Amino acid sequence: MSYQFIQYQVADRLATITFNRPERRNAIHWAMSAEISAALKEAERDADVRVIILKGAGASFSAGYDLDRNAGTPPRQTGRATATNETPTEQVSVWDNRARVQGHIDYMLEIWNCWKPVIAQVHGECLGGASALALACDLMMVSEDARLGHPGTRALAPGEETAIFAWHVGLKKSMEMVLTGDALTAREMLDYQMANYVFPLERLETETRAIARRIANVDSQLLSLSKTMIHRVFEQMGFASSMKSSGEYVTLAGRLPSNQEFKRIARERGLRAAVKWRDDPFGGTLGRYPPVDTREPVK
């Protein structure tokens, strides 16, 4: 199968899915998400593949979902809204919006439910919906310059994906992340056990593939059983149901004044102006408070 917005390669029993919109910081629109979904299924069906790696081309893993409707997004399809089939922007049905949000969650859970281990190779920005894709992976390797967060929570919605933060960093830190939209550093990701390892950027690719090849030495059926066993523990504690129910809050947030104001500014003055309006009070998209490493004493 050929792809337009991603690259798909298989070598050494590893399938690598590369987000390939570097000019847009690999922002994900409906057509790109459809290709990622298709590539996951292709790798899952391929008997020669034992491990899947997700990565981004260019300077970032991904800036999240593409909010710019004029940035080369292909024409939308018609029919029920999902993560890979968006309804027109003028749609007014709350049920269409709910279906679209649920589609994003289901799309993220495709990684969680994939029979084969999936590794996120994260560098640069990993924001918005992309942060949930990375956290849904079974392992996450990050570079020292990586930042992970969901700035959309400052104006648009709590984010249907942000419920996954609580499963990784606990109540207090996930609350801070959602209430401020600030991004974690690579060091914090490691401290909070979001990431398995942190490497210098120039070593990230080599080290990620080395770990993936170690895993690929295990029988593929045994890998599937091991992954499923660990996931069942979290599902019995409510992981899947908590992710699905989060979509209800995002649907409600679509009617909030701040959400509508962001969209108005984007419509009248462009997305860049809307993002500036949203992020300037927080010191920029990535944010940071306090502006020093909290593990070091303040002098």
Considering the segment(s) 6-282 as one domain, its CATH architecture is Alpha-Beta Complex (3.90)
Residue indicated by tokens 């979904």: 37
Using an 8 Å Cβ cutoff, are 143 and 201 in contact? Answer: yes
The pTM of this model reads 0.89
- Short-list 57, 10, 62, CA closest to 33: 62
d(CA 153, CA 251): 13
Give 212's contacts (C-beta < 8 A, 6+ positions apart).
14, 51, 53, 119
Residue 122 is inside which H or E element, if any? strand 118-122
Q: Where are the domains of the chain?
A: 6-282
Both tokens of residue 191? 């401290």
| Contacts of range 231-239, beta carbons closer than 8 Å, 24 or more positions apart | 231/112, 234/167, 239/167
Give 112's contacts (C-beta < 8 A, 6+ positions apart).
136, 231, 240
Using an 8 Å Cβ cutoff, are 182 and 149 in contact? Answer: yes
Q: What is the pLDDT of residues 275-284, one digit of tens each?
A: 999 999 999 9
pLDDT score of 97 = 72
SS3 182: coil
What parts of the chain have a pLDDT lower than 50? 78-81, 87-90, 292-299
pLDDT score of 247 = 80
- Short-list 140, 246, 237, 130, CA closest to 188: 140
pLDDT score of 208 = 99
d(CA 238, CA 298): 39
